[in-house]
Amino acid sequence: MSATATRVLVLNSGSSSVKYQLLDMSDTESKSGSAAGRLAVGLVERIGEETSRLAHTPLATGGAKRETEGPIADHEAALKAVAAELTADGLGLDSPELAAIGHRVVHGGLKFTAPTVIDEAVLEEIERLVPVAPLHNPANITGIRTAQALRPDLPQVAVFDTAFHTTMPEYAARYAIDVETADAHRIRRYGFHGTSHAYVSRKTAELLGKAPEEVNVIVLHLGNGASASAVAGGRCVDTSMGLTPLEGLVMGTRSGDIDPAVTFHLKRVAGMDEDEVDVLLNKKSGLIGLCGDNDMREIRRRIDEGDERARLAFDIYIHRLKKYIGAYSAVLGKVDAVAFTAGVGENAAPVREAAIAGLEEMGMAVDAARNAVRSDEPRLISPDYARVAVAVVPTDEELEIAQQTYALVNA
């Protein structure tokens, strides 16, 4: 790595999207956690559909956001389109200032507990985990292979969603099924969104003016995928996603918790095969299965118009959230804060209000005026009298990945 190479490109490849950021890590603020070192940010959406969309903002040049629509067939094409956008701003991947490329990798199993420089053996292991992260790991692998082809000389670093959760105690991670079968097939709770849970729990402690070791936090990461975690003194002690990102909360298109016997029933009685059940639970369930929409904005709009199906979907979503807040309060014993994050958690005030409503006896409440504030900054939404702080803490998986990547290549 050259002495002047201080930039990191971060790729967060989802099942049908790529979020990316180019950061300059020599900027002291980007090292400590603010947005100052961001040179370019963007998003490719609806990959593989008829009209994909690329939105690119070159912050370094002060240029306006550029949006292009047109077909982008796969993640390889998406990444090449991103590279072309960066090149157009003089921020191309050929820059000698680029120190590394950091990749979000969703499933790292038990092997990867920390950021890892990617080689063929690491890629093989990520590939081996495809069956337990079928929506995510294949996209991550394509992202890595394409980036390697564009810059074979650069270190590529994998930052795993599962890493933060590897501290869970055995009694939280192990399912109550036959031990030999579970161990033979590595069946256990792994948990996901760990980079976000780690970042948000740390930021929440900061908001309270305390060290992470001093606080117990329930983090509610509510995006299209959604998960809850119980973080005690900076360490994850339980989380709602399991072997795969299907378990736990009601999500945009995933069912979350369900009696596993439903799957036998669908096969024996409804005549579905494995793949059909998989698609049903991962892609046609959750909010979209309940009411036909997975975007919380649309669901709130329909509720305001008196739509009963949207109302019921919302109520089911909130009921599940409340159950996890209760469960993790008991797991933690003492809760200092509940932190809402990701697309829904950061933006949907009615979700926050409804999830906390009625929890006054548990020391939790939401102040309506504080909850209505829109901001990119971490903020409290509980009234001053509440024993438990309720907060909105915007996540920043890309910054966290950049910091971990840069630290590793400079170690």
Ligand X SMILES: CC(=O)OP(=O)(O)O
Residue numbers in the known binding site for Mg(2+) are 12, 397
Which entry of Mg ion, ligand X, ligand ADP, none binds 192, CB below 5 to 8 A by partner kind?
ligand X
| Contact call for residue 286 and ligand ADP (CB under 6 A) | no
Helix (H) or strand (E) holding 55: strand 52-57
Please identify, using beta-carbon distances, which residue of 29 and 49 lies nearer to ligand X: 49
Strands 156-160 and 98-105: parallel
Nearest-approach distance from CB 133 to ligand X, in angstroms: 7
Could you say which of 161, 238, 336, 396 is catalytic? Answer: 161
Sorted by sequence, the CB contacts under 8 Å of residue 52 that are 6+ apart come out as: 44, 45, 46, 69, 70, 71, 72, 78
From the list Mg ion, ligand ADP, ligand X, none, partner contacted by residue 234 (C-beta under 5 to 8 A by kind) = none
Gap between the Cα atoms of 82 and 78, Å rounded: 6
Strand 379-380 and strand 389-392: the pairing is antiparallel
Q: Which of 191, 223, 234, 289 binds Mg ion (CB under 5 A)?
A: 223
Q: Is 232 helix (H, G, I), strand (E, B) or coil?
A: strand
253 makes contact, choosing from Mg ion, ligand ADP, ligand X, none, with CB < 5 to 8 Å by partner type, with: none
Of 52, 108, 116, 401, the residue nearest 245 (C-alpha): 108
Q: Contacting ligand ADP (CB under 6 A), which of 42, 252, 286, 394?
A: 252
- Partner in contact with 42, chosen from ligand ADP, Mg ion, ligand X, none, beta carbon below 5 to 8 Å by kind: none
Nearer to ligand X, 7 or 320 (CB): 320
Q: Does residue 225 bind ligand ADP (CB under 6 A)?
A: yes
In contact, 59 and 41? CB cutoff 8 Å:
yes
Instruction: Candidates 121-129, 179-187, 219-227, 231-239: pick the segment binding ligand ADP (CB under 6 A).
Output: 219-227
Q: How far is the CB of 5 from ligand X (least distance, A)?
A: 29
- As beta bridge partners, residue 230 has 218, 238
**Can 178 be counted among the known catalytic residues?**
no
Nearer to ligand ADP, 80 or 297 (CB): 297
Backbone angles phi, psi at 43, to 5 degrees: -150, 130
Local structure of 213: helix, strand or coil: helix
Q: State the catalytic residues.
A: 161
